[in-house]
Amino acid sequence: MEKIILSRVTTPRGELQLQQWAVTDSTSQPVYEIIFNGVFLMASYNELSAKAVATLAIEPLASERQDMRVLIGGLGIGYTLQAALECGGIRAVDVVEIDKHIINWAKSFFTELNGNATSDSRVHLIQADIVDYIQKTDKTYDVIILDVDNGPTMLAMESNQNLYEEPMLSRMKNILTDGGVLTVWAEKESPPFRKRLGEIFGQSEVITVQEMDMRGCPTDYFIYRTRALK
């Protein structure tokens, strides 16, 4: 397969690259990958798990609530946002994405993949660091979904480690409504992180989602889930 560099930009945090693998089958969607500082960050073939991190967060509340507010950390391709919007009972979705280029790509290259989710009237796109946003916001949410890194053990930026430590997890519990749900996407399991979630929220679980990469190889990803029972 031939790789095409669609965009390469320098940001205050490092180099961000959007690349596409040429698809010879006319019935197939283009395959996109986003690379950050030379390290794989996200891809269009991670659709199943990117959607699962949203549906697994919202489903426990679906029969209870009809006016939910959702916070998503990380926009990516837009799959997570799309899946959240397709769930019932969603009033508003705030998406916090640190990089303006990823926001622009989601509105241009990825619109067919994400169903033009960024144009939904319920969506508020916020260009900011999710750590700063969570610390400063005065809003409360029924659901918080984090798909910022490749998980707690594979960080896009070292400063994101704060997201997975006790002070920030406690802060997320505080801005969740009673019974609200937090989910976190991860490429690898992290028993210490799951233990930390359990200590702060009182319980936690990890759900395995298997999907195929662009070469047809099965890969397991992991969704951490907990509820803010106060």
**Which domains can be identified in the chain, with CATH numbers?**
45-228 (3.40.50.150)
What is the pLDDT confidence band of residue 23, given thresholds at 50, 70 and 90?
low
DSSP state letter for 27: T
Tell me the mean pLDDT in the region 111-128.
97
What is the pLDDT confidence band of residue 41, given thresholds at 50, 70 and 90?
confident
What is the pLDDT confidence band of residue 1, given thresholds at 50, 70 and 90?
low
Tell me the mean pLDDT in the region 10-17.
88
Assign residue 92 a region: left if phi > 0, alpha if psi is -120 to 50, beta otherwise?
beta
pLDDT digits (tens, 9 = 90+) for 160-190: 899 999 999 999 999 999 999 999 999 999 9
Tell me the mean pLDDT in the region 98-117.
95
Q: Is the pLDDT of residue 215 over 80?
A: no
Q: What is the pLDDT of residue 11?
A: 86
Burial class (CB in 10 A: 0-12, 13-18, 19+), 83: buried
| CB-based contact 188:144 (threshold 8 Å) | no
Tell me the mean pLDDT in the region 193-205.
96
DSSP state letter for 152: T
Convert 65-133 into a string of H (helix), E (strand) and C (coil).
Answer: CCCEEEEEECCCCCHHHHHHHHCCCEEEEEEEECCHHHHHHHHCCCHHHHCCHHHCCCEEEEECCHHHH
Q: What is the pLDDT of residue 48?
A: 95
Could you tell me the pTM of the whole model?
A: 0.93
Tell me the mean pLDDT in the region 67-87.
97
